[in-house]
Structure 1
């Protein structure tokens, strides 16, 4: 058979592993990954999270080992979530800004041990700390409905961010989706002399079913949903607006959460954002991969790398993921 008269043969650039590596248009590196970690009060040994096999609620001692592993792998940042004892939760989530609260203690011991070797990011939200599981104190609107009080929540976030900065956090990450939260936190940090503490804003955070296993991870007390403050999964332009507002209010990073089902938002935010863009590969994404891999339905390593590369390809500079340290070691 006579060869086809083709002006282009794209397969020439796919012939060998070396050739494919040479022309790869998206690079995934340890520095792109942020390791998510949970620290729980009142436990003596790490507790595996049932719906997230391979992930643990850590003690103050065991979390130091995880941070060391992250540093050794080349990961540049960790994101910390605190899990308080049930008896420490209250209507306002006040243990969140208590210097002896579990999250602030964890920040402090990690900063004391590791200094500036790794960026210490702390989750700045109240849902883990409130007795009702919502992201701020509750109030009643003029129709008698129980709702989260936006402005009171922002005031609480400012206290929480200051406590985290005092403990040694390099970055605070308001995730409650309250209007005006970034501007208020920036002003509070600056007024207290923490101009060098950065803010990663959960800008386009959706009321997603993919968050399910996370509630298990943090021992959430939530009864109901967060649809009055997290975004409707049907809305695209609203996510772009939220990211733009956070940039205008002083966010140093903006985030889209979840990642997999919202890659269109990642791409569009990355196209206009003058600050780094993050995406969060959330608990449901992790759990689905682990379940499929455990059943032998997918190749675990290949699918994890493909999923993370897809998030990078969509435009994310940074990816928050439970796989960060493990993947960084694969990449090395």
Structure 2
């Protein structure tokens, strides 16, 4: 009976596996006997291999470093910017701004009422510019108010009621995407810095150290810039800005403005009344001017009139007496 070559190959392979298993058991036993010193040796060899792979060569040190760092940063950015991995915001990040223009004959009271509104909404006065009259009265004031974003709408409504409203405007900007992108870029840049610091710790030549430090400085500056943007967005989205312009208004200007606000019918009626009172005033002026002359004429003319009546009576009586005789 002949043995097939296939069966012979299978048997040979099985014998080899058994031998390898025995060797592995022997190595494992010796490894247990050596303790932690063997593990430390293997970790050192692995670390040396990783350093050899990551460290740039002397010929193309800077180019290799840039390639490794950029690829690592891009890889980190790709992981963070992936559509499925991008964090979804709990609420929209909005930057709210508003402007309110007010006028009041009592600017001191209006300024006090403005401060009460700010305090009631947990806000602060970030900036204030005020000019006064010679007597110390506020002529005009510009106040920059910062209130929590959730209080923006209510604060705007109440500030409009502090004094006479002459103008207002408000706007909102959605920066949710910008906030998320900045956060992702900060995390990616921090990971990139850690990789570069690891390369710097393993660098041996002066050229490698100089090149790695240049990359480290550049990326640290970019990270600082991103963190500044992140802090600015956090400030603008958490606190809304309202600019209040307060101007002193005289009583005459207030009355004139109130008259201008009348409709056409009331304006015409007022114009007619003003014309009538003007004519009456003119007639009264004429009468007042002629009255002294009338008094003088009355005093002088009354005796003359009496004398004239007596003479006329005598002239009428004399013919009648003559006829009777």
TM-score range, shorter chain: under 0.3
TM-score normalised by structure 2 residue count? 0.16
Larger relative contact order (Cα-Cα within 8 Å, sequence gap ≥ 6): 2
TM-score, length of structure 1 as denominator length: 0.16
The structure with the larger Rg is: 2
